[in-house]
Amino acid sequence: MRKFIFAIMLLQFSTQLAAENESTAQLEEQAKHLSSQLAMQLKARLKNAIETGGPAHAITACNVSAPQIAEELSKGGWEVGRTSLKLRNPANNPDEWERSTLLEFEQQLASGTPAANLHTSAVEADEGVTRYRFMKAIPVGGVCMACHGEAISEDVQSALAEKYPQDAATDYKPGDLRGAFTITKILSEDR
Ligand code: HEC
């Protein structure tokens, strides 16, 4: 009899585990979708702004639209944003988990992992709040150089100095890790 109960318990436990695994896979699917949405919308807005008025004008456009696009995508309990170890906008400051993930991404990139494969997820419980968290690396590409590279034109420099007096997000080279998309969903809150 005991053995039988134990077997049932084991069965329940493994179904529970399977359900949790499945929902984590679903969460990861949604988080990936949100980060590619954010990437696509930012790129489209950036391209459009550069074509209309050049990179200096695009700084003003990014200043307003980047936080706005992130906010628009933050629906249904999801929170969507970007972060980096070298910040332009101080509001994108990484927390502890984001900082250590960014450092891991840098190490993995340096040891040859392609940037496209760098993503990670975790379930975190902190002060009664359980969160699903996901991060995906953002590599520097050629288009980024006008505003994040080593040789930045004077008009871009002065537009940056005006909007971001503490800007640290320059001197990047193509292939560097610029930062990461960071996506969070609160799973439960017991308070
Ligand atoms: C026209 C200038 C411009 C170009 C080109 C540009 N950026 Fe930015 N970038 C900005 C501005 C302005 C911000 C600050 C946006 C804000 O206020 O949230 C920013 C912020 C960021 C951030 C958020 C972290 C932080 O430092 O605040 C990331 C990540 C980022 N850019 C990556 C890229 C990548 C990758 C590319 C190339 C695909 C790129 N950027 C091209 C102007 C630019």
Closest CA to 79 of 189, 181, 188: 181
Residue 70: CB within 6 Å of ligand 1? no
Q: 31 near 135, Cβ under 8 Å?
A: no
Residue 55: CB within 6 Å of ligand 1? yes
Examine residue 23 and state whether it is found in any structural domain, yes or no. no
Residue 169: CB within 6 Å of ligand 1? yes
Number of domains forming the structure of the chain:
1
Examine residue 8 and state whether it is found in any structural domain, yes or no. no
CA of 170 to the centre of ligand 1 (A): 10
Q: pLDDT tens digit string along 1-46?
A: 566 666 666 666 666 666 666 688 999 999 999 999 999 999 999 9
Examine residue 81 and state whether it is found in any structural domain, yes or no. yes
Examine residue 124 and state whether it is found in any structural domain, yes or no. yes
37 three-class SS: helix
Examine residue 12 and state whether it is found in any structural domain, yes or no. no
CA of 18 to the centre of ligand 1 (A): 40
Residue 136: CB within 6 Å of ligand 1? no
Enter the pTM of the model.
0.90
Neighbours of 14 (CB within 10 A): 10
Examine residue 61 and state whether it is found in any structural domain, yes or no. yes
Q: Which domain holds residue 95?
A: 30-189
Residue 180: CB within 6 Å of ligand 1? no
So what's the pLDDT on residue 2?
Answer: 65
Q: 42 near 92, Cβ under 8 Å?
A: no
So what's the pLDDT on residue 26?
Answer: 94
So what's the pLDDT on residue 61?
Answer: 79
Mean pLDDT in residue range 151-169? 95
Domain CATH number, residue 157: 3.30.450
Examine residue 21 and state whether it is found in any structural domain, yes or no. no
